[in-house]
């Protein structure tokens, strides 16, 4: 298997260099640098490190191939036009660092527009500063990030359920689910957001067991990254962390309360010192109202053919509550078969069939987790519930819903894996019971036959002949 991975790596890197000879060397070098950290961490990991290392390698190669095809064929607008936006304004930010007034003005216009992705622009500008303008390098950074996410989901599932079957299945779904591969193969922010969310949840789970500096630092960095990429998710994750600390206390004592209070206080002070909370509060004041939500819905639903809920008005509490059921339905299950009016939409059908079939497993796994592991799963349940309700309110476009579902899917897959393992174990139990019943029946029949042969009144044919 290792030799096959080496051969595939050589073939993929050769193919990338062939289709993009100018950009590939720098992009592959950046990808290798980013991949070094997860490889080192996985090598030092637990007993399943071989599985996770191979999964990372295969996931990375798939994303490199998809990314190279998108780049070579110029499919950025077809799959995600935001990649070009980040490329243009990231270049403008880099120019502003060198005193270009036009670049500085362009960057300020982007930030003041409320796009809320200044962190992505800094990433793009930083990479361009080091190796020159190279969108393929940004794609390959996301490829490494996307390939590392399944390992984080594995550790989350293993921490929650201590079941290798569940952990492996959740990691496999995260690694190979087509939309997750697609979004992490482009120069988009989605792959980084998903990894930051997963790491934040993992750090929270570890901090619920024991507060230490390492995981406090990981959580703080992830929260800043989330704020810089999609600010409203920052509040939901922060609320989920605080709620999990309260719900997840094994025992209420002074030490537990003090350690969690110190952890939250340290993160809050750090955010205050660096101006994070001020930036977040400014954005909340500007966009954290139903009027802004309504504007976002209308813009999404009316500017594309795949818009939905165009007549919905969420500016009132009653209107918002009315919009939630339809929004949740679209968020979880769209695009529907009758909405596949183009090639791009039709490409989503195979994975949507898999997702529709998997949904009962999600319900079963979630029910089991809440019933038997509520304290442990509280961060995920709180966060996914809040984000699901938020997206159901202000999203009005099937394409956007399909893309942003990825931020929920990685956590849903943990519960899908739980449901699948429960079904499999019940099937195995029934099969074992049938086999045991058959074995008991055979033993009973053999015992009866033996009893008949050894009964006092039983005579064999040979004995009866002698007596006659």
pLDDT digits (tens, 9 = 90+) for 276-314: 655 655 665 555 555 666 666 666 555 555 555 566 666
Q: Distance (Å, rounded) from C-alpha 186 to C-alpha 328?
A: 27
The residue segments making up the domain with residue 141 are 2-74+134-280+316-424
Residue 288: inside a domain, yes or no?
A: no
Q: Distance (Å, rounded) from C-alpha 185 to C-alpha 174?
A: 14
Give the pLDDT score at 230: 86
pLDDT digits (tens, 9 = 90+) for 3-21: 899 899 999 999 999 999 9
> What's the whole-number mean pLDDT along residues 358-377?
93
Mean pLDDT taken over the chain:
84
Q: Is the pLDDT of residue 465 over 50?
A: no
Contact 205, 156 (CB under 8 A): yes
Share of the chain above pLDDT 90, in %: 48
Indicate the pLDDT class of residue 96, thresholds 50, 70 and 90.
very high
Indicate the pLDDT class of residue 464, thresholds 50, 70 and 90.
very low
**Which three-class secondary structure state does DSSP give residue 307?**
strand
Residue 464: inside a domain, yes or no?
A: no
Output 272 or 395, whichever has higher pLDDT.
395
Q: Distance (Å, rounded) from C-alpha 21 to C-alpha 68?
A: 11
Residue 241: inside a domain, yes or no?
A: yes
Count Cβ atoms within 10 A of the Cβ of residue 270 and give its class: 0-12 exposed, 13-18 middle, 19 or more buried: middle
> What's the whole-number mean pLDDT along residues 65-85?
90
User: HEC string of 314-366?
Assistant: CCCHHHHHHHHHHHHHHHHHCCCHHHCCCHHHHCCHHHHHHHHHHHHHHHHHH
Residue 335: inside a domain, yes or no?
A: yes
Residue 450: inside a domain, yes or no?
A: no
Nearest Cα neighbor of 68 from 137, 145, 149 is 137
Residue 366: inside a domain, yes or no?
A: yes
Residue 413: inside a domain, yes or no?
A: yes
Contact 156, 414 (CB under 8 A): yes
Q: Is the pLDDT of residue 273 over 70?
A: no
- Number of folded domains that form the chain: 1
């Amino acid at each position: 298997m290792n030799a096959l991975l080496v051969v595939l790596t050589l073939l993929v890197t050769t193919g990338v260099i062939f289709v993009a000879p100018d950009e590939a060397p720098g992009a592959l070098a950046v990808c290798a640098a980013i991949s070094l950290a997860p490889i080192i961490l996985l090598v030092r990991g637990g007993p399943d490190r071989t599985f996770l290392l191979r999964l990372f390698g295969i996931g990375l190669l798939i994303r490199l191939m998809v990314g190279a095809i998108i780049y070579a064929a110029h499919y950025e607008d077809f799959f995600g036009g935001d990649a070009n936006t980040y490329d243009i304004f990231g270049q403008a930010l880099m120019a502003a660092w060198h005193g270009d007034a036009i670049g500085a003005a362009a960057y300020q216009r982007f930030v003041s527009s409320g796009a809320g992705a200044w962190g992505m622009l800094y990433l793009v500008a930083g990479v361009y500063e080091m190796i020159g303008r190279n969108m393929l390098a940004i794609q390959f950074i996301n490829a490494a990030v996307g390939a590392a996410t399944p390992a984080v989901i594995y550790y989350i599932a293993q921490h929650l359920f201590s079941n290798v079957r569940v952990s492996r299945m959740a990691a496999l779904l995260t690694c190979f689910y087509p939309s997750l591969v697609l979004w992490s193969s482009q120069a988009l922010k989605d792959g980084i957001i998903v990894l930051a969310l997963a790491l934040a949840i993992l750090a929270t789970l570890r901090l619920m067991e024991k507060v230490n500096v390492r995981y406090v630092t990981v959580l703080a960095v992830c929260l800043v990254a989330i704020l810089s990429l999609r600010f409203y998710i920052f509040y939901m994750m922060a609320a989920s962390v605080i709620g999990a600390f309260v719900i997840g206390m094994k025992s209420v004592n002074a030490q537990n309360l003090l350690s969690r209070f110190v952890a939250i206080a340290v993160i809050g002070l750090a955010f205050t010192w660096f101006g994070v909370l001020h930036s977040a509060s400014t954005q909340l004041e500007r966009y954290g109202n139903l009027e802004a939500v309504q504007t976002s819905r209308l813009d999404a639903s009316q500017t594309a053919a795949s818009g939905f809920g165009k007549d919905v008005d969420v500016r009132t509490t009653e209107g918002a509550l009315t919009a939630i059921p339809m929004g949740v339905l679209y968020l979880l299950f769209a695009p529907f078969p009758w909405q596949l009016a183009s090639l791009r939409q039709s490409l989503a059908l195979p994975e949507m069939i898999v997702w529709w079939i998997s949904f009962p497993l999600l319900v079963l796994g979630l029910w089991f987790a809440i019933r038997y592991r509520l304290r442990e799963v509280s961060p995920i349940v709180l966060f996914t519930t809040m984000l699901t309700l938020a997206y159901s309110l202000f999203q009005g476009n099937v394409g956007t819903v399909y893309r942003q579902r990825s931020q929920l899917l990685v956590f849903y897959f943990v519960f899908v894996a739980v449901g699948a393992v429960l079904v499999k174990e019940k099937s195995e139990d029934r099969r074992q019971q049938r086999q045991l019943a058959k074995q008991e029946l055979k033993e009973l029949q053999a015992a009866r036959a033996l009893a008949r042969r050894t009964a006092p009144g039983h005579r064999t044919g040979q004995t009866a002949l002698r007596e006659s």
